[in-house]
Structure 1
Amino acid sequence: MGYRTLRQCVNDLLATGQMIRIDVPVDPDLEMAAIQRRVFKAGGPALYFASVRGCRFPMVSNLFGTMDRIRYIFRDTLDHLAKLISLGIDPADWLRRPRLLMKLPWWGWRAWPKLVRRGPATAHEISLRQLPKLRSWPNDGGAYITLPLVYTEDPARPGFAHSNLGMYRVQITGGKYDPECEVGLHYQIHRGIGVHHAKAIEMKQKLRVNVFVGGAPAMTVAAVMPLPEGMSELFFAGVLGGHRIPMIRQPEGLPIYAEADFVLTGYIEPKKLLPEGPFGDHLGYYSLAHDFPVMRVEHVYHRPQPIWPFTVVGRPPQEDSMFGKLIHELVGPVIPKTIPGIRAVHAVDAAGVHPLLLAIGSERYTPYDERKRPQELLTLANALLGHGQLSLAKYLFIAAGEDNPELSVYEVDDFLRHILERVDWRRDVHFQTCTTADTLDYTGGALNQGSKVVIAAVGKPRRTLPVALDSRIRIPEDLGFSDPRVMLPGILVVQGPPFSRNEQGEDENIKKFCAFYKRQDAINLFPLIVVVDDSEFTARTLDNFLWTTFTRSDPAGDIHGIEEFIHKKHWGCHGSLVIDARAKPEHPPPLVEDPEIVRRVEALAAPGQPLHGII
């Protein structure tokens, strides 16, 4: 019933041919990450690096690289977990409402973690300098722990019921950290550790922190799950892992996960911040160096024969995309119960997850009347933008399920077609300005700041979407615009001149582009126009379009329109909606691999080499 240790999982995957062992020396500085990216892209096996340059510990990656492998790893428990989630039982409520236990299946009892007096995790003590030093991208500010299990408890209400296990990247070299005893702790907004940190600051206390690396695969998945605030990830891991999670009681400090491969114990230093980053992140760009909390490390432990697991993030899809798919499978069916009226949601991975959210809701406010304008959809959109990590969505497109019962949020091209056939740009664009945004998204011009937009469409189709360029369409080439390409029905991609701001902080060219047209011009046959730096690249694939459009634009600053207007503080336009998705000066650079590293990795695919036939 589930793996209790990482070593058990690794041995099983090796025995069943789902993992390969690489015995040639591999450098954790860039080379290992480049291998991981290629093997993941090829749908390849998990990887066991037996010989790590500069480190005596083996490393593993791509454990969760395919959905088939994830289902194999959790083959005994996934169905149980899905059932428990469908029951809507929060284990944290058991002590407060014991009657809930009557609803709990017998196997749900194993969700409760257990305190133990000792465990293998603390068998050996080493220094920070001895840990593996994984660097994934050329401009990364140092080495990182990329699969850390960061454990904290509510300072005012300590214990498992008010604990948080999250995956927040940990920088262990570089920057201004003391290499003997300090690491950077980067956590984004709307994360459970932030609640605990705020409480510690309020109480004028240090926030105790333990960082676990390795252990049961269930602990890794639990750390990335967007669980309700106040629900401990340890309960989730217990059900998914098929056993009670053992935690070593400590006379002082937080309990330690007994089966972890590595453990860092310490605390967040009060009022101390240091620059963390840059780091090549999952939007496909570098998150830049910013001041983040510092963890003072008191002890570093490891179990006998430990293994260091890691992952690599970058422009989607990557291994973390598989976590997203698993989350959708498990949590997706629960959303309609949580927000009545919502039928389905999809945070689009190809667009970087948070930048684009698609949703289907119900329009029941006036069932006796023809659906002519969004009503309940707007209420549902506000509920979504106030719910958990869905609140980080930047673009929210929402449609009425009554208009097409077969519509799916997972068929992104068809969903966009449905919206564009029905949307009325004079009425259906709703902004939230000067608000919080995903920490990794810099389009708003500052850290954690930006805007959001809701585009809601209902009713019968208003237009037939063109699928080819009309000969009557003119492009203002004298302004630097060129190479129009049809991306999808109703979507025109146009190459623009490099973005340039005037003294007011606005780009004159995009305004001149919109002013070049009137509502009766043929270009308005395309309800959506996206201006980009490279139209050939953007229109080459749907993933390129989604990534470019939604990671390089801020709704409030980059949405324009032909014959736009403001009426009673509502923005709209009579012609096409225009999104300026060109790179802006404040945007971080995209991730690009080191050519020499690429050559080294490709050499490992030659006949007789360990990656031959895999990449």
Structure 2
Amino acid sequence: MRPTLRDFIDELDAAGELLRVREPVSPVLEIAARADAESKRPAPNPPSAAARRNDPAWWDLGGRALLFENVEGSGLPVLINALGSYRRMEMALGCARFVTPGGPDGFEAIAARIAELIKPEPPRSAREVVGALRRFAPLVRIPPRAVRRGVCQEVVTTGDAVDLTRLPILKCWPRDGDPAAVGFPAGVNAAVAGADLIDDPTSAGRYITFAHVHTIHADDAGVARPASHNVGMYRVQLIGRRRLAMHWHMHHDGARHWRSWATRGEPMPVAIALGGESALPFGAIAPLPPGISELLFTGFLIGRGVPMVRARTVPLRVPANAEIVIEGYVRHDAGPPGWDPRDETAGPLGPGAFFEGPFGDHTGFYSLPDRYPVVEVTAVTSRRGPVYPATVVGLAPQEDYFMGKAVERLFLPLFRTIAPDVEDYDLPLFGCFHNCAVLAIKKVYPMQARRAMHSVWGAGQMAWTKCVIVVDDDVDAHDARAVMRAVAQRCDPATDVELVRGPLDILDHAAPALGAGTKIGLDATRPGPGERRSAAAPGEPVDLDALRAMPGVRDAAALEDSGLWVALSLDENEPALAERLARQIGAMRTPPRCAILLGADVDVRRPDEALFHWLANCDPGRDRREHAGGMLFDARPKAPGVAPSGEPVRDWPPLIEGAPIGRARATA
């Protein structure tokens, strides 16, 4: 395990995991496009046996890490896709350090250690006492430690000398940072003080994407070791030479801290750090229980405390080994999200705010612009000759896919403390993490699958999960084909579907309200004693040719072997077509248990692509219809307004340009 980003680059190079790109490249679209294509190619080296077992369809992807050494407009190299494969994630987290003789490998080695710590067995002998001391003694070394100096401050630039355009900040997708490109009026941000780059074609739409953002709660102002010190990963838009726009979701700790400072009427100190210990980016996204510090967790992964040095212009400590640190203050006087310049009653944008976005997001769609606070930068510090780390998010798999799968595996022991029915779980690629979770349970009592669903919907960040599928433990939760086969055979739409209203991911564009809508649970377990018996699955497959012959249907394909779940691509988006098809499908001799209506551009013969669009473009309450013997979902793109159900449809974002979800169609 190497201590700094520079050491990690050397380790990747020695392992054949790094490609150095020496020809000139542009930070505007070109670097991101090359990283997007690389992420969908085979990785150079196989990962652990655990990774291959837990992700049988995608474990071999990720390509290589890319180090661009000649970036136009900047003297700094850009590292991207550094954590974009199972092997590189395992290297970054130091998985080998946790492997014990005869024990699991990869992420599961760390998960086993976490399980040991949260459920320690009481020692029964002097030898076991000694063994326990040896296991727990290293924890004394993992809290962050204060240091006087750090390489992150070898070069210090403050005040008017700061020029953020010297950093190779990336523009990843064509519509990034351009509200007019997604239907909003141009010039919304014209009056924002210091936003002097928004109309510059070489600087507009550029985002810091791979920083760990350090904040504290206002109640800890002046405290030497603030217990609230939080590390999160949020996108940050470049809007001026000394101005940024900070995007965070309402439930993020950074946003909660900002609200505490806003209540006091004071700007919030912030440090936006890039690089440092290779596990720090993962620590920043880890869904930790309340009271557990991201820095403490990073220290656990690397086996020692993260060294922290005082920032130069804000009252915070920052990672001493970081490559670059941007210091500043977040304006406290910005209004909340939910502002629309097209609404005559919305009032002005207001001081301290910026209409941030759009941004090509991990959902595979552009997240639409909204009001977020401005960061006024007071200093940029760095080591000499720093490397600028970046990532690109979009249609999976990308770098964040492998980070998310590490979260899935490492936090299974903690998840099981609040969902004890769950034997294993999977966050499938087509669900983009917040849209789907597959749970495997050992069923012993009636309605146990329903309990497991609601455990997820009450479990921290998993509470935003739109679709929960529950299978018996004899079904491999990591095998999407096996899971969909179980859903088709065992989930009767009349008895085995759970619909609940609740909070959803704020990036879910299909939700009728911002961050709120309907979730769906599919019980694909065998019915047990005391449960209503589901109807037997039809014995013959659905006639796909009959579906293809229906007016308006472009193509139809089965999503699993039995043909009881089907996807249809349609030529048009007229809402009435869904009602007509529901009647026609219900009249078939063998109707499908579930029919999913998709847009004309979706390749329904690729199940992962079809399932991705189903979950992304559908609210299960508003867009579900029943037909004789089954259900139908209208998951086509929609126009804003009111749906036939009477529920609202919000602004619909465009799909991100680039490679489709899943494996590259041709590899090289």
Using the size of structure 2 for normalisation, the TM-score is: 0.77
Q: Please, which of 92, 101, 115 is the counterpart of residue 86 of structure 1? A: 115
SS at structure 2 position matched to 1:265: strand
Judge conservation of contact 1:81–1:239 (CA < 8 Å) in 2: no
SS at structure 2 position matched to 1:444: coil
Residues 332-389 of structure 1, C-alpha deviations (whole Å, 9 max, x = no match)? 2432233222222222222222111211235444xxxxxxxx5232223222101111
Looking at structure 2, the residues matched to 345 and 474 of structure 1 have their Cα atoms a distance apart, in angstroms, of 34
Q: Within 5 Å, give how 1:450-465 maps onto structure 2.
A: 450-460=517-527, 462-464=535-537
Aligned partner letter, 1:580? D
The alpha carbon displacement at 1:189 in A equals: 4.2
The question of 1:375 aligning with 2:447 is answered: yes
Q: Report what 1:120 is aligned to.
A: 151
Q: Within 5 Å, give how 1:581-596 maps onto structure 2.
A: 581-585=635-639, 586-593=651-658
Q: Report what 1:12 is aligned to.
A: 11
The alpha carbon displacement at 1:246 in A equals: 0.8
SS at structure 2 position matched to 1:8: helix
SS at structure 1 position matched to 2:505: coil
The alpha carbon displacement at 1:228 in A equals: 1.4
Aligned partner letter, 1:477? M
Residues 302-357 of structure 1, C-alpha deviations (whole Å, 9 max, x = no match)? 11121001111111111111112212221124322332222222222222221112
Judge conservation of contact 2:250–2:256 (CA < 8 Å) in 1: no
Residues 500-525 of structure 1, C-alpha deviations (whole Å, 9 max, x = no match)? 3xxxxxx222122223454x74242x
Q: Within 5 Å, give how 1:261-340 maps onto structure 2.
A: 261-272=323-334, 273-340=353-420
Q: Report what 1:206 is aligned to.
A: 267
Give the length in aligned residue pairs: 548
Judge conservation of contact 1:160–1:232 (CA < 8 Å) in 2: no
Residues 370-417 of structure 1, C-alpha deviations (whole Å, 9 max, x = no match)? xxxx52322232221011111111111223x3xxx3212111221122
Q: Within 5 Å, give how 1:33-112 maps onto structure 2.
A: 33-42=32-41, 43=43, 44-73=63-92, 74-79=94-99, 81-89=110-118, 105-112=136-143
Looking at structure 2, the residues matched to 170 and 466 of structure 1 have their Cα atoms a distance apart, in angstroms, of 54
Judge conservation of contact 2:111–2:412 (CA < 8 Å) in 1: no
Q: Report what 1:394 is aligned to.
A: 466
Bigger mean CA offset, 258-267 vs 152-161: 152-161
CA separation of 1:576/1:156 partners in 2, compared to 1, >3 Å: closer, same or farther? Answer: same
SS at structure 2 position matched to 1:477: coil
Looking at structure 1, the residues matched to 630 and 216 of structure 2 have their Cα atoms a distance apart, in angstroms, of 51
Judge conservation of contact 1:40–1:65 (CA < 8 Å) in 2: yes
Q: Within 5 Å, give how 1:328-367 maps onto structure 2.
A: 328-365=408-445
CA separation of 1:78/1:181 partners in 2, compared to 1, >3 Å: closer, same or farther? Answer: farther
SS at structure 1 position matched to 2:279: helix
Bigger mean CA offset, 275-284 vs 415-424: 415-424
The question of 1:166 aligning with 2:232 is answered: yes
The alpha carbon displacement at 1:103 in A equals: 8.8
Q: Within 5 Å, give how 1:415-494 maps onto structure 2.
A: 415-433=483-501, 435-460=502-527, 462-464=535-537, 468-470=541-543, 473=546, 477-478=550-551, 480-488=552-560, 489=562, 490-494=564-568
Q: Within 5 Å, give how 1:142-221 maps onto structure 2.
A: 142-157=205-220, 159=225, 161-173=227-239, 179-221=240-282
Q: Report what 1:132 is aligned to.
A: 168
Looking at structure 2, the residues matched to 256 and 431 of structure 1 have their Cα atoms a distance apart, in angstroms, of 45
The alpha carbon displacement at 1:446 in A equals: 4.4
CA separation of 1:464/1:377 partners in 2, compared to 1, >3 Å: closer, same or farther? Answer: closer
Unaligned runs of at least 5 residues, structure 1: 91-100, 174-178, 366-373, 501-506, 564-574, 595-612
Aligned partner letter, 2:458? G
Q: Please, which of 230, 233, 239 is the counterpart of residue 300 of structure 2? A: 239
Aligned partner letter, 1:115? A
The question of 1:3 aligning with 2:2 is answered: yes
SS at structure 1 position matched to 2:579: helix
Using the size of structure 1 for normalisation, the TM-score is: 0.83
Judge conservation of contact 1:452–1:556 (CA < 8 Å) in 2: yes
Looking at structure 2, the residues matched to 206 and 588 of structure 1 have their Cα atoms a distance apart, in angstroms, of 32
The alpha carbon displacement at 1:167 in A equals: 0.8
Aligned partner letter, 2:18? M
The alpha carbon displacement at 1:131 in A equals: 1.4
Percent of pairs identical after alignment? 28
CA separation of 1:274/1:315 partners in 2, compared to 1, >3 Å: closer, same or farther? Answer: same
CA separation of 1:467/1:299 partners in 2, compared to 1, >3 Å: closer, same or farther? Answer: farther
Unaligned runs of at least 5 residues, structure 2: 44-62, 100-108, 120-131, 178-204, 335-352, 528-533, 640-650, 660-665
> Pairwise CA RMSD of aligned residues?
2.7
Aligned partner letter, 1:423? C
Looking at structure 1, the residues matched to 545 and 241 of structure 2 have their Cα atoms a distance apart, in angstroms, of 68
Residues 562-590 of structure 1, C-alpha deviations (whole Å, 9 max, x = no match)? 15xxxxxxxxxxx2110111111232111
Aligned partner letter, 2:176? D
Looking at structure 2, the residues matched to 4 and 119 of structure 1 have their Cα atoms a distance apart, in angstroms, of 13
Judge conservation of contact 1:532–1:538 (CA < 8 Å) in 2: no
The question of 1:407 aligning with 2:475 is answered: yes
SS at structure 1 position matched to 2:609: helix
The alpha carbon displacement at 1:227 in A equals: 1.2
Bigger mean CA offset, 77-86 vs 192-201: 77-86
Q: Report what 1:495 is aligned to.
A: 569
The alpha carbon displacement at 1:425 in A equals: 2.0
CA separation of 1:380/1:437 partners in 2, compared to 1, >3 Å: closer, same or farther? Answer: same
